[in-house]
Amino acid sequence: MSEETPRTPKALARRPSPTVPDFDRAFDALWTRARAALGPFPFEGVLAPWNQAGSRPRTAPTDVVDSGKAYQIKAEVPGISKDQIDIRVTGNVVEISGESKTEKNESSPGYLHRERLVTKFHRAFELPEPVVAEKAKAQVVNGVLELELPKQQPTPLPAETKVKVE
């Protein structure tokens, strides 16, 4: 049996290890070389959408802060416009997702090959308390989504107490 991790905003907003992107790039390079050497892959649809050229699912690095009256969530979403972001709130669960894609256009003169990146992300958080979704506010500033979710029953932050070391 293992102990369950406490459901605090800090525990919910953990970031992946910095070595994960390096591993992903190395694996992608290996996969590309193997596919080029082996020819057509018989199970092409099985790995969709991750095997599409230029498609990179990712997580948006996110901070979740409890201000007492509301939860503030900041997520890095560079290159994704506000129209491409979807935010859904159900009780105390918040889901943020988005997708930015640039279409291929191989018919332009002079191009032998042309691709664009598809960026997708999805994050979900279970907050410690329910929020009032109808009063939520969201904006994107310089590639950062700023989301404020008022609590149903705001709780003041505890006063700071200094403890004397003996």
| Tens-binned pLDDT, residue by residue, of the chain (166 aa) | 445 555 555 555 555 555 556 666 777 777 677 666 665 544 444 444 444 444 445 677 899 999 989 999 999 988 788 999 999 999 889 999 988 776 655 566 777 766 666 778 888 889 999 999 999 999 999 989 999 999 998 877 778 888 999 9
Q: Measure the CA–CA gap between 94 and 109, rounded to whole angstroms.
A: 46
Contact at 8 Å (CB) between 114 and 137? no
Cα dihedral angle (12, 13, 15, 16), rounded to 10 degrees? 30
Contact at 8 Å (CB) between 75 and 145? yes
Phi and psi, residue 139, nearest 5°: -155, 155
Question: How do beta strands 118-126 and 55-58 pair?
Answer: parallel
Return the structure tokens found at 36. Answer: 């080029």
Alpha-carbon distances of 75 from 5, 68, 100, 124, rounded to whole Å: 22, 20, 15, 11
Residue-level pLDDT at 115: 67
Q: Measure the CA–CA gap between 131 and 28, rounded to whole angstroms.
A: 40
Phi and psi, residue 141, nearest 5°: -125, 115
Residue-level pLDDT at 137: 96
Residue-level pLDDT at 51: 43
Residue-level pLDDT at 6: 54
Neighbours of 132 (CB within 10 A): 14
Alpha-carbon distances of 158 from 66, 68, 108, 134, 155, rounded to whole Å: 12, 9, 62, 27, 9
Note the pTM of the prediction, 2 decimals: 0.56
Residue-level pLDDT at 8: 56
Domain with CATH 2.60.40.790 in the chain: 56-108+115-151
When the candidates are 1.10.3720.10, 3.20.130.10, 2.60.40.790, 3.30.450.20, the CATH number that belongs to 56-108+115-151 is: 2.60.40.790
